Each structure stands twice: as C-alpha cells, then as structure tokens.
Amino acid sequence: MEKTYISSFALLFLFCCVSVADKVPVLLWSPTRPLSDLPPTYAGNSIDSSSFHQKYIAPLTSKPGQNLVAFIQDKLSLEDFTKHADVYNPFSDGGAFKNVKGFMDDHFSADLPSVHSPHSVLDLLKKDFVGKIHQVTSPSELSKLSLNKDESYLILVTLPAIQGAADEGKAFSKNDELIAEVIKQLGKMAIQYTAMYTAKRSKRDVKSETAHRGRHLLATEGGNKSYIFVNYTNQIYFYARGIKLDIMRGRTSVEMLNLPTAPDKYSDNGTEVMNNTAVFQLSFQSVTPLNKTEEYNVSFRFELKTHAMAWSLQNLTVSVDSANQSNSVKDLLMNVRELYMDLPVKFSYHCSLMTLTSIDKNGTYVKITFNGFQFQPFRSKGNRFGDGWDCVGYFTTPILMGLLPVAMLVFILFCGMYMLAGLSTMDRFDDPKGKTVNVNVQE
C-alpha cells in the first residue's frame, strides 16, 4: 500500500503544539514483531508528536499485513500505574493493569513514558489507512470484521471513560479486562498485530483537578477510599494503603487495630512546618479493636529536620489513649533506623511494607505495620510526591545468597593455590647415561 506523507502545514502545526501538548505514556507490544528496531527511550526525555509518528508508529505499519490496534481511553498517566499497579512492589501482579502487564512481559514490548499528544498522531495516521479503519468498542464487534491478512488495518478500540468513575481502580481494571478480551479475539482470528495502549490526555479535567488540588493528590473524589492520604498545605505529603497497630500486654492480651481510611476518621491537627524543622501529627479517632467494643484514639508524631540538601526523621512517637488508662500508651518512641539517615531533600521515602516495633517501660509491646507507605516532608513540587527512595538495603537476601557461594569458591581456589605453592621438586635426578643415583635413607 502506498503511504501518503503528512503535509508541511500539519508538521508545522505539530511542532507548534509540542510546548502545550499533554504528555501521555504509551505502551506497545506485539506477539510476532520484534520492537528492538525502535529508538530507545531515556528517563526524563519526552518524545514529540512528529518523532513518535515517524520513528515509532510508521515502522510498525510499513509492511502489508502489519495491523495496528490502538486502545484509547480518556486519561492515563504514570501516576495511575504507580497507584493502581503498585509498581514499587516487585511481587505485584500488576494490580488493575494485570493483563496489560502480562502482555508486556510475555511479548515483544516497548514502553514510552512521555509522548506529546499521541492521540493527535493517530488522527494524522488515519490518512494512511483510508478505507481500512475500524472503530470498535467490544470484542463482539471485532469478530464481525472481515480483514484481509495481506492488508494493513488501523483498529481503534475506544475504552470506557475513567474520568468521573466512582472508583478509578475498578474502572482501570475493567478496561484491562476489555483489552485482554480483544487480544484474545485477535488470536482466534489469527491476525498479526501490534497493540498500543494510550490516552487522549494524562490528567483529569482542569476544573476537577483545581477544585480538589489541595487534598486529593493520588485520590479519587468521594469518601469511600481504601487508603490514607494527607496533604498539608502542599508541603507535607503522607500516603499509606493501610496502617495496622498490634498491642501486646503480657503473653495473652493482644489487641489489633486496623486504622480507618475514611477522611472523617483522621486529621493532621497539630502539624506545623518551620524553617528547617517540621512536626507531622496524624491522629485517628474512635478506633475499635477487633472483637472488642472499647474505643481508642491513636496519634503518630513525626519530628523532622532538614539541612543542606537532605532531610531526616528525628523521632517517631505513637500514643494510644483509652478510657481505661491501664490500656493507654503514652509517647512511645519507635525504632525507625531507615529514616534516621539523611535522604535527598527532593525525594520521598517509599516502602511497600514497613514494620516498626518498640516496648514501653511497662513491658507493653507495640508493632506498627504500614502498607504501601510513602512520605515526603519538604520541597514537594507540582502537587505530587518526588521520586521515591525505596526501603531496599544494599545487601538484600538475593545478594547475600550470591555472595556466599562466590566466597566459598574463592576459598577453595585459595586453598588449592596454597597447596600448589607448597609443592617442592627433587634436588637430584637420574642421568640415563650415567651412574644410578643412590639416595641413602639417612638423608
């Protein structure tokens, strides 16, 4: 099929729009076509619309029989992958993007974190597929299409909107299942394809984003949340999918508290930020332990300090107040070795699962478990967390397992070389033409 070229006016229009175009992530995968010939992408670099069309999309459709299947939804951003796919957790199955993650892992794939307005490139690409464009919304519509295997087609799959959904996580999950059904149908039809997953824009509508700019970072509108998020005057950000508190008094009395995630159940009253110090106070009211009716008030106090280009946690104390004073815990200092070190001031601290323990003077054992913990107290920009500093040590279990056999092999090699160095040669040898050498036993 002869390709038509983009007019110079269209290219000029694209270049002029680069500075204002929305940057959207693009995922590409194909079960048959290697994507290694596509240009590499680098962290922090954005791909303009013209380069995306000429260097990435055009090669995918340059030969007959190579079909492009584009999955388009209303919004998609890197924050959506962070929030709904748990990308920080190496053991995550992909969360709401489970099927997409499976396609990226099992097929030839390429991920482009930042592309200027990829949806507009698809509009321009329609000129190359005049009469061979199919727009579908379900796998059943795809099965009714009559596709010639020797021709190239552009199949546009419009996914249900994410904007305005009561639960964005479920909306992304439903779209992920729809993508899987379409891919399965393509397999049944024995169609060679390259799939592209992207969106029209990366953020919510401006009105919605502005109205909730102060409190709903990484959050959906509404009160039914499955996580805890606090934004204190765009200076201190705190996020956790859940917090569990275990209190053990003696050997038998164990109380387990799952702290509530409803916004009206927690507050940041008492939080303040000074020049080089800050105090973050997170309080929970009327928390009921499992299988009990007694209510507790729980509060966490983070004392923080910044200097030069680093920040550190000075102290973390927890208090548990109860009507029964014997069950209360007052200002218990927790052991937080990881956050005592200096962290880059523009970075947030992230840990998929963080457990803190301590014992008070009365022998009460307290364990706090933060699930999906992320915290940044200084220099947050753009109403978002900075890059994550993960709670992964320099010597993890896999590294130690690798170093141990290496050390054993080096030790064996050293012993062998030492034994070889201890070998000595004879100082007398027989001359076949001369007299036999006799060695006395006394020597």
pLDDT digits (tens, 9 = 90+) for 176-208: 999 999 888 888 888 888 889 998 887 644 343
Q: Identify whether residues 185 and 247 lie together within a single domain.
A: no
On whether residue 402 sits in a domain, the answer given is no
Q: Identify whether residues 57 and 94 lie together within a single domain.
A: yes
Place of tokens 């997409």: 100
Q: Identify whether residues 18 and 88 lie together within a single domain.
A: yes
Place of tokens 């109403």: 383
Last residue of a domain, one of 372, 390, 408: 390
On whether residue 436 sits in a domain, the answer given is no
| Per-residue model confidence (pLDDT) at position 208 | 38
What is the C-alpha to C-alpha distance for residues 32 and 27, in angstroms, rounded to an integer? 16
Question: Would residue 75 be called left, alpha or beta, if left means φ above 0 and alpha means ψ between -120 and 50 degrees?
Answer: beta
Strands 236-240 and 365-376: antiparallel
On whether residue 50 sits in a domain, the answer given is yes
Q: Identify whether residues 316 and 188 lie together within a single domain.
A: no
Q: Which helix (H) or strand (E) holds 416?
A: helix 397-421
| Per-residue model confidence (pLDDT) at position 222 | 44
| Per-residue model confidence (pLDDT) at position 21 | 44
| Per-residue model confidence (pLDDT) at position 251 | 65
Last residue of a domain, one of 160, 184, 207: 207
- Residue pair 241/371 in contact by the 8 Å Cβ criterion: yes
Place of tokens 């896999």: 398
Q: Identify whether residues 361 and 299 lie together within a single domain.
A: yes
Task: Determine the structural domain holding residue 355 and report its residue range.
Answer: 215-390
Q: Identify whether residues 153 and 295 lie together within a single domain.
A: no
| Per-residue model confidence (pLDDT) at position 338 | 60
Q: Identify whether residues 12 and 140 lie together within a single domain.
A: yes
Tally of domains within the chain: 2
Last residue of a domain, one of 165, 188, 207: 207
| Per-residue model confidence (pLDDT) at position 104 | 86
| Per-residue model confidence (pLDDT) at position 215 | 37
On whether residue 231 sits in a domain, the answer given is yes
| Per-residue model confidence (pLDDT) at position 3 | 39
On whether residue 141 sits in a domain, the answer given is yes
Contacts of 230 (CB under 8 A, 6+ apart): 236, 237, 238, 239, 266, 268, 282
CATH classification of the domain holding 223: 2.40.160.110
Residues with pLDDT less than 70, the chain: 1-22, 42-44, 86-92, 203-225, 251-253, 290-291, 338-340, 379-383, 393-394, 427-431, 434, 437-439, 441-443
| Per-residue model confidence (pLDDT) at position 302 | 93
Q: Identify whether residues 360 and 225 lie together within a single domain.
A: yes
On whether residue 401 sits in a domain, the answer given is no
Q: Identify whether residues 181 and 250 lie together within a single domain.
A: no
| Per-residue model confidence (pLDDT) at position 282 | 93
Residue 107 sits at φ, ψ, to 5 deg, of -115, 175
On whether residue 440 sits in a domain, the answer given is no
Alpha helices in 75-216 (DSSP H): 78-85, 98-106, 118-125, 139-143, 168-188, 206-211
Q: Identify whether residues 57 and 106 lie together within a single domain.
A: yes
| Per-residue model confidence (pLDDT) at position 404 | 93
Q: Identify whether residues 112 and 31 lie together within a single domain.
A: yes
Closest-CA residue to 170 (of 226, 244, 125, 235):
226
| Per-residue model confidence (pLDDT) at position 22 | 66
Q: Identify whether residues 159 and 286 lie together within a single domain.
A: no
| Per-residue model confidence (pLDDT) at position 2 | 39
Residue 271 sits at φ, ψ, to 5 deg, of -80, 140
| Per-residue model confidence (pLDDT) at position 205 | 41
Q: Which two tokens stand for residue 144?
A: 């009714």
On whether residue 64 sits in a domain, the answer given is yes
